[in-house]
Amino acid sequence: MPEDLAIFIDWENIYISTVTEYKSRPNVSAILEKAREYGRIVSATAYADWTDGDFRQAPPTLYSNGISPRYISARYFPGGKSQKRRTNSIDVMLAVECSDFLHDHPQVDTYVLVTGDGDFIPLVSLLRSKGKNVVVIGVSEATSYHLIESADHFVSYASLLEEDRAARAQDREPKKEAADPYRELVRAVQTLKRGGKTRVLGQVKQQMIVQLGSFDERNAGFKKFKDFVVEAERRGLVNTVDQDLELQVYLPDEKVPDLQETDLAAEEPTPQSQSANRNRSNGRPAREERQQDPEPGFDLLEDLTPYELKTVCTSVASLEQPATFVEIFSSIRELDERGELELSREEIGDVITAMLDADYLSKVRQKPYKQAKADMTFYALNADKQEVKSALNSG
């Protein structure tokens, strides 16, 4: 018997994405058909302000397909509607009602979120923490690659259109040979290079999904996309380097930036942190006020609460030691995305630099894998250091 499944549609997001990228409205039937591959649909809800513009035409189609339109009044900033729309209320209502559904219907095992909005990452994390299977359907070009990585499965909207066309043209053409994932990886990097786009792992995977309709590194025998890229590097197809806080992917004939020059963790801290301010509930002054302090830099004990320091150290300790700067940065950023910390991207860099300065972390030079041609800089948590022990065991 198929598992029960619930669908939650961020209609405004998927509508704007399909109209922008494909000049057409969302194909509701194709979305439902794909969702049925994952289970029996017991609930389907779409969220939008149905009184606004082209959205007015959608409810009859949604009703006829068994989808309940949920009306959420849009709010606007003062000064007119142009470029002033506030859509957070729609996102919040979807997340709240999905959470309520989770508690009221424990028998539902699979959740399909139709959106590309990265703000739903905490919702995905909540669903998965409760043992639920999460499928995200979205327009690849307009979907947060962090959202793609956080879900159990991602389905590109383009693949739905291709499947629909293929179903109509069934048996007209011989079946195509399965694409070589390594060749598609190289093609993805080439495409991103030509477009002048960043080539971090998430962007590269997203481009492969655009090319193939769907891609799952597990089908190629790898648990993580990073492992797949490392194998491609071992085969001489691509090169990788830690750059701009992310692992960047290059072609073999490209000049790869010098690791020493692009190793951000090795850079000297700036004389005065430009990080965003964070108001504290414990009465400490905001960081903007403390910038007048003549003492420069970021202080782990002054700028972090004991809980924050413990959370950061615990996160780093959970990584395989030693870890890359990217892995450490990503593990702390995930804490922020889950709501366990409140740190900006710049502040995370400050924290890691301060951990190096305070000897919470030490540098290790070694090969990333046995066949690698050069050493990389890794970082190990000094778990035997008294200050680190105190941080891990505090509170």
CATH number of the domain encompassing residue 66: 3.40.50.1010
Question: Do 20 and 124 lie in a common domain?
Answer: yes
Question: Do 209 and 99 lie in a common domain?
Answer: no
Question: Do 114 and 219 lie in a common domain?
Answer: no
Question: Do 294 and 315 lie in a common domain?
Answer: yes
Question: Do 16 and 134 lie in a common domain?
Answer: yes
Question: Do 210 and 358 lie in a common domain?
Answer: no
> Does residue 110 form part of some domain?
yes
Ordered per-residue pLDDT tens for the chain, 395 residues = 678 999 999 998 899 888 888 888 898 988 998 999 999 999 999 999 898 777 888 999 899 889 999 998 866 555 444 444 445 678 889 999 999 999 999 999 999 999 988 889 999 999 999 999 999 999 887 888 788 888 988 888 887 777 656 555 554 555 556 788 899 999 999 998 888 877 877 778 878 887 887 787 878 888 778 888 888 888 889 888 776 556 788 888 887 665 443 333 333 434 333 333 444 334 444 434 444 443 456 778 887 888 888 888 988 998 888 888 777 887 888 777 666 777 777 788 888 888 988 889 998 887 766 655 556 778 899 988 998 988 888 76
Question: Do 148 and 48 lie in a common domain?
Answer: yes
Question: Do 316 and 361 lie in a common domain?
Answer: yes
Structural domain that includes position 30: 4-168
Whether the pTM exceeds 0.85: the reply is no
- Tell me how far apart the alpha carbons of residues 334 and 311 are, in angstroms, rounded to a whole number: 11
CATH code at 242?
Answer: 3.30.420.610
CB count, 10 Å around CB of 296? 12
Tell me the pairing of strands 108-114 and 4-10.
parallel
DSSP designation for 41? E
Question: Do 97 and 190 lie in a common domain?
Answer: no
- Tell me how far apart the alpha carbons of residues 97 and 43 are, in angstroms, rounded to a whole number: 12
Q: What own/partner pairs with CB < 8 Å and gap ≥ 24 does 362-370 have?
A: 363/265, 363/266, 364/322, 366/322, 368/230, 368/324, 369/230, 369/234
Token pair of 371 as six digits: 């066949």
> Does residue 66 form part of some domain?
yes
The full DSSP string for 68-108 is: EEEE---EE-SS-STTTEE-HHHHHHHHHHHHHHHHH-TTE
Alpha carbon 48 to its chain's center: 24
User: What's the domain count of the chain?
Assistant: 3
Verify cis geometry, omega within 30 degrees of 0, for the bond prior to 322.
Answer: yes
